[in-house]
Amino acid sequence: MEDQICFLLNSDFCILYSMLPLRHQQSRYLFQTFWLLVIVGMALAGASPQLWAVFLLAALFSTLLVKRAACSFACPLFPVGELLWRAGAKLFGRNFVAPFWFDLALRSAKYLVLGWVILALAGKPTGTALISVPMVLFIAGLLVLSLFFQMPWCRYLCPAGALLGLVAMASLLKIRRSPQHCVRCHKCSNRCPANLPVMLRTTLRSPECFACYRCVDGCPAPGALDLATPGKRVVPAWVVGTMVSCLLMLGIIVGTFL
């Protein structure tokens, strides 16, 4: 198993990874916790718009390397969505999945939201209050919906996710499946929070992929599924989280001095 998940850059790197006890999901949860604290701290400290803009640019650059890992490793809304749909599955025994054609149409909605945000930012600020009755009702409805459907905000409405997804299509690292090792059990597809047909692809190029490793951790066949480079060099989650974190921290440092 170690040779599957070891990032084969050099033997020292392999030895270092073999000493780490964390699985992919455990690593991701640690990074999520760290960035939840950082982002909440930035918000409470009144971070400037310039800082948030550079922070977003850093996340955007990270997608050229590691897909939308900035979403699954650093965005505080991602674990909220995960907790809600898992809680819903336990409470009601299942989650609901929209028909493919409807799901595809819903995915397109976030690009409309992105366009609206860009137009709004290009125009003059209206000074509309962020906290209002319609906004509270919208958030409450979204939270309830998240109990029944997997991560509706991240998949259907998030404008930042839409922007990151477009750039992530050119990512160096992608989820790659080996048909020779695959046992075609559909466990990878069933675990995907974006409802992607992972088992039907040898390389997952979709802008919807969060690089969250849920499909990888759910795969029972050694060597069948990994997040890897075009040369099939496997990259563990802690390396991805470190790469994303370094870029985001660099963005914070640069944005602080603007």
The residue that leads in pLDDT, 73 or 128, is 73
The residue that leads in pLDDT, 4 or 111, is 111
**By residue range, what is the domain housing residue 43?**
2-256
101-to-63, 104, 195 alpha-carbon distances in Å: 27, 5, 12
Residue 236 · residue 24 · CB < 8 Å: yes
Report the run of H or E that residue 225 belongs to, with start and end.
Answer: strand 225-228
pLDDT of residue 62: 96
Strand partners of residue 175: 204, 227
Quote the mean pLDDT of the chain.
87
Its sign, for the CA torsion 59, 60, 62, 67, is positive
pLDDT band at 8 (very low <50, low <70, confident <90, very high): very low
Q: Which of 243, 211, 238 is nearest to 29 (CA)?
A: 238
Domains: count for the chain: 1
Residue 162 · residue 110 · CB < 8 Å: yes
pLDDT of residue 152: 94
pLDDT of residue 224: 94
Average pLDDT over residues 5-24: 43
Residue 195 · residue 97 · CB < 8 Å: yes
Q: Which of 58, 88, 73 is nearest to 27 (CA)?
A: 73
pLDDT of residue 23: 76
pLDDT of residue 131: 64
Strands (E), 69-223: 174-177, 203-204
